[in-house]
């Protein structure tokens, strides 16, 4: 491994996110209104259009997890009566709130002026904002996003969501902002969204190269940062993804493997597809268990929870509300099990993966349900080795390093033995 050198894109992203948190910390003085909302099905373009500042509680929770703060936060939430089985993102958020609501950068987060509940596949979101509504005593506007039960988006579904946007969500946001939505500007924003999305897809698909120049899971979670949070539809995001793409192009030209915390990974021994979110509290340790064995994640479903772009969808400036509806309904969390299986099967084949792994998160019922079925079905369809590990999002108590390492090593050796036989 060579010495780690921070990529320019990484520095840029850091500056962008730090800038956003700085803006949030001064929201009161600057008179900016604040909207709490979720990553899957986020309506960032609408918020930015109206000068509203988004806060994403899942991002705060995972960032706090990476900084080792969620153990205490969860303890505080449990003391307040939230049981051990409750989603640990929720408990980390509640605990953070009760500890002074200092954001991941240590700056205070403003209270919400509105809770924008865009429900996409995760039932917990509803309960989460019920709790926040009680804590902050602020209004909630809900966007109900129909589940893709039949694996397709019908015209009625699209109309249903677009109508809610026009009749309920946008009026509520306009009321808060004290001004009307600028549709001409929205079209420009959506064009920028599409531009950044194309570059993101290009970066993620670069993992089809051998060796892969990126890790599409551990690196991927950084790559999706700007577009999944508050920068979709901005020039900043477009510039970031262009820069990232240029860096990846350079890595391909030089035949380099992915960047890891310990420098460039030299030998690609295993190409793996991963389903499920990563563990955030031991993120580095978890990552090391992969790159230490020469395993590269070439595709992951988690990097699609805030928007699924590699099946062709791009935000369409010509149909602003309908395209936002399609975006919300297309998020990975809103797909049914057969579609999730089809997508993973496609990844395994198109990315020439040696196998696939599921990281099942105990406290996330809506995402983890059915994962064993996914495992069996993918084994049957692809003939490649499936592995199953269990951890948690941000509860450090549920990351058993020895156990997970043991399973991962066994899994990689199983892949190797199977490869040797064939």
Rank residues 184 and 402 by Cβ distance to other proteins and give the closer one: 402
Residue 83: CB minimum distance to other proteins, A: 18
Rank residues 99 and 403 by Cβ distance to other proteins and give the closer one: 403
- Is residue 85 part of the contact set for other proteins (CB under 8 A)? no
Structure tokens at 42: 């986020």
| Residues 403-422 close enough to bind other proteins by CB under 8 A | 403, 406-407, 409-410, 413-414, 416-418, 420-421
CB 166 within 8 A of CB 143: no
B/e letters for 72-110, b = 16+ CB within 10 Å, e = fewer, are ebbebbbeeebeeebbbbbbbbbbbbeeeebbbbeebbb
Kind of pairing between the strands at 385-391 and 355-361: parallel
Rank residues 350 and 379 by Cβ distance to other proteins and give the closer one: 379
Helices (H), 351-421: 365-368, 371-382, 401-421
Task: Tell me, by CB under 8 A, how many residues bind other proteins.
Answer: 22
> Residue by residue, what is the 3-state secondary structure of 159-202?
HHHHHHHHHHHHHHHHHHHCCCCCHHHHHHHHHHHHHHHHHHHH
H and E: helices and strands count for the chain = 19, 10
- Is residue 266 part of the contact set for other proteins (CB under 8 A)? no
Rank residues 142 and 337 by Cβ distance to other proteins and give the closer one: 337
- Is residue 269 part of the contact set for other proteins (CB under 8 A)? no
Rank residues 250 and 406 by Cβ distance to other proteins and give the closer one: 406
Binding mask 354-383 for other proteins (x = CB under 8 A): ------------------x---x--x----
Residue 130: CB minimum distance to other proteins, A: 30
Q: Candidates 183-191, 238-246, 310-318, 397-405: pick the segment binding other proteins (CB under 8 A).
A: 397-405
- Angle subtended by helix axes 155-164 and 320-330, to nearest 10: 110
Among 386, 394, 395, 396, binds other proteins (CB under 8 A): 386
Q: Is 69 helix (H, G, I), strand (E, B) or coil?
A: coil
Rank residues 58 and 392 by Cβ distance to other proteins and give the closer one: 392
Distance CA 12, CA 337 (A): 37
Residue 66: CB minimum distance to other proteins, A: 21
Residue 368: CB minimum distance to other proteins, A: 12
Distance CA 148, CA 198 (A): 24
Q: Which DSSP state fits 251? A: H
Element (DSSP H or E) covering residue 356: strand 355-361
Rank residues 136 and 388 by Cβ distance to other proteins and give the closer one: 388
Rank residues 144 and 418 by Cβ distance to other proteins and give the closer one: 418
Cβ count near 124 (within 10 Å)? 18
- Is residue 184 part of the contact set for other proteins (CB under 8 A)? no
- Enumerate binding residues for other proteins (CB under 8 A): 372, 376, 379, 385-386, 388, 390, 398, 400, 402-403, 406-407, 409-410, 413-414, 416-418, 420-421
């Amino acid at each position: 491994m060579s010495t780690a050198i921070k990529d320019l894109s990484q520095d840029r992203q850091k500056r962008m996110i730090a800038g956003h948190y700085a803006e949030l910390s001064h929201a009161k003085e600057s008179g900016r209104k604040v909207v709490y909302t979720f990553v899957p099905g986020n309506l960032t373009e609408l918020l930015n259009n109206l000068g509203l500042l988004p806060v994403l509680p899942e991002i705060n929770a995972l960032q706090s997890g990476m900084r080792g703060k969620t153990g205490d936060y969860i303890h505080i939430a449990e003391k307040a009566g939230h049981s051990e089985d409750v989603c640990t993102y929720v408990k980390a958020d509640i605990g953070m709130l009760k500890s002074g609501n200092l954001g991941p950068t240590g700056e205070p987060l403003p209270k919400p002026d509105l809770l924008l509940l865009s429900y996409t596949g995760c039932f917990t979101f509803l309960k989460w904002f019920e709790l926040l509504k009680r804590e902050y005593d602020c209004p909630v506007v809900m966007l109900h996003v129909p589940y893709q039960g039949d694996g397709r988006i019908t015209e009625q579904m699209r109309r249903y969501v677009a109508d809610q946007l026009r009749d309920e969500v946008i009026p509520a946001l306009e009321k808060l902002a004290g001004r009307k939505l600028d549709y001409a500007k929205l079209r420009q924003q959506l064009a920028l969204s599409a531009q950044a999305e194309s570059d993101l897809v290009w970066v993620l698909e670069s993992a089809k190269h051998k060796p892969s120049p990126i890790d599409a899971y551990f690196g991927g979670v950084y790559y999706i940062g700007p577009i999944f949070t508050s920068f979709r539809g901005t020039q900043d995001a477009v510039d970031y993804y262009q820069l990232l793409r240029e860096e990846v192009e350079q890595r391909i030209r030089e035949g380099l493997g992915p960047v890891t915390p310990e420098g460039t990974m030299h030998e690609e021994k295993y190409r793996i597809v991963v389903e499920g979110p990563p563990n955030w509290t031991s993120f580095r340790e978890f990552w090391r268990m992969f790159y230490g064995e020469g395993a590269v994640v070439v595709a992951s479903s988690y990097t699609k929870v805030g928007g699924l772009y590699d099946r062709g969808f791009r935000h369409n400036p010509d149909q602003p509300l309908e395209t936002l509806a399609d975006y919300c309904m297309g998020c990975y969390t809103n797909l049914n099990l057969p579609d999730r299986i089809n997508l993973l099967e496609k990844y395994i084949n198109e990315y020439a993966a040696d196998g696939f792994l599921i990281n099942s998160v105990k406290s996330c019922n809506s995402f983890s349900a059915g994962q064993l079925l996914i495992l069996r079905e993918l084994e049957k369809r692809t003939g490649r080795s499936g592995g199953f590990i269990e951890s948690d999002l941000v509860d450090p108590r549920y990351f058993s390093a020895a156990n997970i390492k043991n399973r991962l090593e066994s899994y990689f050796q199983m892949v190797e033995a199977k490869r040797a036989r064939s």
